[in-house]
């Protein structure tokens, strides 16, 4: 539930604090912090294990939320979001390694989908609660987010046993596909050419992903004339679809090349938002977000599973950290670029460009998958 601030952050900075177009640059600083946090989280996970890193991230996040609540100037908000991202995003590689250590290779894709299901269950509650809290008092969002972080840290310390390192598995789910051969030895992700190419595609794909949390709430507020509580309902629809269908969809696609699954997912991401300028109202917004959600369900578990399969056991934290860094880089460039287009070139152009980008990225993933097949 601790993500309830993010869907309303653009509205909060633009309208509540009156920062306007500066909101995109400020949110971009969150992406900069995310890059640092992902790197540090991956490094610390390989060194100390996932459990201490996750606990530290949650406790520190609660403290930063409480400080950020009182930030009012652009400089204070930017600095607060930078520090917040460092401590928040540090948990991602640790949580991915924790899941990989708990699942044998043949179950990892479904394990990561189950992890996303748990995350999205919290997001569904957080988006609904956050919408009503935002209409009442934006400060309450930060207070409740701090409380959820502390509650999670307490639960982790009390209930979760120690997590071991990821052991090599004799049965790799990636062995079924031609695009995810296991890399033997303690290789650095910086020396894995195919992985770097896929990370480049994922970095561009993240532009589409973060539009859901930055430009879309503002567009629904300004163009569709939806209140914060109605916007919360749209986000709750996104997470409800994930809760109901992602595990089934992941199971059905687990025998296919992860790269091709990601490609189809990115296509749905782009097409879903490209329809936004063609309609109006809550119902049409829910339809567009449903298409987008199909893409998210295809892309996210397959991307994490590809990364886990690609890494050697002793370097999985570095691989997961790089994947988190790539998405954080998208959070640097995506919101700033999209909000610049939104405010200066036209509100609808953002979504037309997203649709075209989804087509190009889909072709890119399929080409990498085909190249890997020929190589093998």
Per-residue pLDDT tens over the stretch 222-255: 888 888 778 878 888 887 888 888 888 888 887 7
Q: Which domain holds residue 44?
A: 6-157+173-375
Q: What is the arithmetic mean of pLDDT over 321-344?
A: 77
The CA R_g of the chain, rounded to the nearest whole Å, is 20
Look at residues 298, 28, 330, 90 and name the one whose alpha carbon lies nearest to residue 199.
Answer: 330
CA 201, 205, 211 angle in degrees (round to 5)?
Answer: 160
In a domain, 163, yes or no: no
pLDDT digits (tens, 9 = 90+) for 41-91: 888 888 888 888 999 999 999 998 888 888 878 888 888 888 988 888 888
In a domain, 296, yes or no: yes
- Predicted confidence at residue 294, as pLDDT, reads 93
In a domain, 168, yes or no: no
| Distance set, CA 146 to CA 58, 64, 132, 338 (Å) | 9, 8, 17, 29
Output the furthest CA–CA distance in the chain (Å, rounded). 58
Q: What is the arithmetic mean of pLDDT over 327-355?
A: 80
| Distance set, CA 283 to CA 64, 231, 276, 295 (Å) | 37, 12, 11, 19
CA separation for the pair 191, 176 (Å, rounded): 24
Cα-based torsion angle of the residue sequence 11, 12, 18, 24 in order, rounded to the nearest 10 degrees = -60
CATH of the domain at 184: 1.20.1250.20
Give the DSSP letter string of 133-161: HHHH-HHHHHHHHHHHHHHHHHHHHHHPP
Look at 257 and 362; give whichever has higher pLDDT: 362
In a domain, 87, yes or no: yes
In a domain, 164, yes or no: no
| Domains contained in the chain, number | 1
Is pLDDT of 156 > 60? yes
- Predicted confidence at residue 374, as pLDDT, reads 63
Contact 271, 296 (CB under 8 A): no
| 74 contact partners, CB below 8 Å, separation of at least 6 | 19, 22, 26
In a domain, 1, yes or no: no
């Amino acid at each position: 539930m601790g993500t309830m601030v993010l869907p309303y952050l653009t509205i909060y900075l633009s309208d509540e604090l009156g920062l306007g177009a500066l909101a995109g640059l400020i949110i971009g600083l969150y992406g900069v912090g995310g890059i640092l946090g992902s790197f540090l989280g991956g490094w610390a996970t390989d060194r100390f294990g996932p459990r201490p890193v996750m606990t530290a991230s949650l406790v520190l996040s609660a403290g930063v939320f409480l400080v950020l609540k009182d930030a009012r100037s652009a400089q204070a908000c930017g600095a607060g979001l930078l520090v917040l991202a460092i401590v928040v995003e540090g948990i991602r590689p640790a949580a991915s390694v924790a899941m990989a250590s708990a699942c044998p290779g043949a179950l990892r894709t479904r394990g990561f989908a189950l992890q996303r299901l748990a995350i999205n269950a919290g997001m569904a509650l957080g988006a609904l609660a956050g919408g009503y809290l935002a209409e009442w008092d934006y400060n309450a969002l930060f207070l409740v987010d701090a409380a959820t972080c502390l509650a999670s840290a307490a639960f982790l310390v009390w209930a979760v046993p120690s997590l071991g390192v990821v052991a090599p598995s004799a049965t790799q789910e990636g062995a079924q596909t031609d695009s995810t051969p296991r890399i033997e030895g303690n290789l650095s992700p910086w020396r894995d050419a195919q992985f770097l190419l896929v990370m480049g595609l994922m970095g561009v794909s993240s532009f589409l992903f973060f539009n859901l949390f930055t430009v879309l709430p503002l567009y629904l507020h300004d163009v569709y004339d939806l209140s914060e509580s109605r916007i919360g309902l749209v986000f709750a629809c996104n997470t409800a679809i994930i809760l109901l269908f992602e595990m089934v969809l992941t199971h059905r696609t687990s025998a296919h090349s992860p790269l091709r699954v990601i490609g189809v997912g990115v296509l749905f991401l782009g097409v879903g938002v490209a329809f936004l300028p063609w309609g109006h109202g809550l119902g049409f917004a829910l339809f567009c977000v449903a298409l987008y959600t199909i893409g998210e369900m295809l892309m996210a578990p397959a991307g994490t599973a590809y990364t886990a399969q690609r890494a050697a056991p002793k370097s999985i934290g570095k691989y997961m950290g790089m994947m988190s860094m790539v998405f954080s880089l998208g959070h640097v460039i995506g919101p700033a670029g999209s909000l610049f287009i939104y405010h200066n070139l036209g509100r609808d152009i953002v979504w037309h460009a997203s649709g075209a980008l989804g087509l190009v990225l889909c072709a890119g993933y399929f080409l990498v998958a085909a190249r890997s097949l020929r190589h093998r």
